[in-house]
């Protein structure tokens, strides 16, 4: 077949978009369109494809919150496969889990599917009440270790951990001039503007958002507030972040944030990038008695949880897309904030207030931190 050596840039770009659509739909037969192009044409198309395809994809999140200390090897094994094996999230990965008031953190700029540290974590049955993990596909910030999620900071003597998936354009510029949100917008008593206590180390919009949230919390509360107050405040902060943009259609904002070893907040403002069929949201499943078999999507691995659990066990797993093929995953509603405690989801300030009132250990923990 004779190759056309005089194609316009628009011709190459259009063919490139067809190729992207083919990859998105796994119709790889479109690759044979290359027979119509010269080597130079294909080099240009490959460059355009690399830029465009990068903009169609996003990172992925994984969280786990448990009633009893539980290992995360099953879920993380499937999740890590998406880091460069069954999916293209190959720009680093991280995992943080709690041991009492302390945390263990693992970060690597290598793909999760190829990282020796990831393999270690997958095969070491660490048990925890609260865990967050993230596999990165870099769209904001270079592929460097300081840009690998989850991020950690201390506030009120409690280690907070945060990971994010999405596009939040207002937080993608100079970290010294980020928008202020919530109480952070107010001035001090002497009229001076509030100075940021938390500042990003890396260059991601995700870490900038985390710092903005913590700066606002630090300005609003001298000590950990009751759960229903914290829930309402975080819901309002998420709304402020979205509304700070000219259009909420340009915002995709999904995050996991743990507050100590017991509490995991998850928020979803889902969406797809222009031209992409990849949906970026959050799903969750709660595993509880009576337990059943579960099989991973991304590798040949199944566990019969009825044989390795007790009636007291309950585990909530949150992920960007479902990890298993035979469990009923629930998709977050747009703008929904859930608080997970002991593997149960709480979806309103009213629920959180009842939870706060009924659990003495939470009040005791708060007193110890004050």
pLDDT digits (tens, 9 = 90+) for 38-56: 655 555 554 444 444 444 5
Rounded to 5 degrees, φ, ψ at 304 are: -90, 95
Cα separation, 351 vs 345, in Å, equals: 9
Please check the confidence at residue 164 and state whether its pLDDT lies above 90.
yes
**What are the structure tokens assigned to 40, written together?**
């130079």
Where in the sequence of the chain do the CATH 3.60.20.10 domains occur?
A: 58-369
Taking only the tens place, the pLDDT of each residue in 68-125 is 999 999 999 999 998 888 887 778 899 999 999 899 999 998 888 889 999 999 888 8
**Set 59, 66, 211, 259: catalytic member:** 59
Rg (CA), the chain: 22
Calculate helix-pair angle for 227-243, 349-358, nearest 10 degrees. Answer: 150
The candidate with the shortest Cα–Cα distance to 321, out of 65, 135, 106, 49, is 135
Cα separation, 66 vs 98, in Å, equals: 11
Reply yes or no on whether 59 is catalytic.
yes
The architecture in CATH of the region 58-369 reads 4-Layer Sandwich (3.60)
**What are the structure tokens assigned to 140, written together?**
């904001």
Give the mean pLDDT of 140-158: 86
Q: Please state whether the predicted TM-score (pTM) of the whole model is above 0.85.
A: no
Using DSSP's 3-state secondary structure scheme, residue 161 falls into strand
C-alpha distances (whole Å) from 38 to each of 17, 29, 32, 53, 100 are 17, 19, 13, 21, 61
């Amino acid at each position: 077949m004779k190759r056309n050596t005089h194609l316009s840039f628009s011709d190459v770009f259009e063919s490139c978009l067809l190729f992207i659509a083919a990859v998105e739909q796994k119709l790889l037969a479109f690759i044979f369109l290359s027979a119509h192009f010269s080597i130079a044409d294909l080099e240009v198309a490959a460059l355009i494809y690399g830029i465009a395809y990068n903009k169609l994809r996003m990172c992925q999140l994984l969280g786990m919150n448990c009633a009893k200390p539980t290992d995360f090897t099953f879920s993380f094994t499937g999740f890590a496969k998406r880091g460069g094996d069954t999916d293209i999230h190959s720009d680093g990965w991280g995992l943080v889990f709690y041991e009492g008031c302390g945390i263990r953190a693992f970060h690597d700029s290598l793909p999760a599917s190829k990282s020796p540290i990831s393999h270690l974590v997958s095969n070491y049955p660490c048990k925890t009440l609260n865990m967050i993990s993230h596999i990165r596909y870099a769209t904001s910030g270079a592929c460097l270790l300081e840009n690998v999620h989850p991020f950690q900071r201390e506030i009120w003597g409690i280690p907070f951990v945060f990971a994010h998936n999405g596009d939040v354009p207002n937080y993608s510029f100079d970290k010294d001039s980020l928008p202020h949100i919530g109480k952070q917008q107010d001035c001090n008593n002497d009229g001076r503007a509030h100075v940021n206590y938390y500042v990003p180390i890396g260059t991601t919009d995700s870490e900038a958002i985390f710092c903005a949230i913590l700066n606002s919390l630090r300005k609003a509360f001298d000590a950990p507030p009751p759960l229903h107050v914290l829930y309402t405040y975080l819901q309002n902060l998420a709304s402020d972040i979205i509304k700070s943009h000219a259009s909420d259609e340009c915002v995709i904002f999904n995050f996991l944030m743990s507050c100590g070893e017991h509490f995991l907040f998850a928020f979803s403002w889902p969406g797809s990038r222009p031209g992409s069929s990849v949906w970026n949201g959050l799903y969750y499943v709660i595993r509880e008695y009576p337990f059943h078999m579960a099989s991973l999507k991304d590798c040949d691995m199944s566990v019969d949880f009825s044989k390795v659990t007790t009636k007291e066990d309950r585990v909530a797993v949150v992920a960007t897309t479902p990890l298993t093929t035979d469990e009923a995953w629930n998709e977050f509603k747009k703008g929904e904030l859930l608080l997970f405690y002991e593997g149960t989801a709480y979806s309103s300030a009213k629920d959180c207030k009842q939870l706060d009132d009924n659990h003495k250990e939470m009040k005791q923990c708060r007193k110890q931190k004050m």
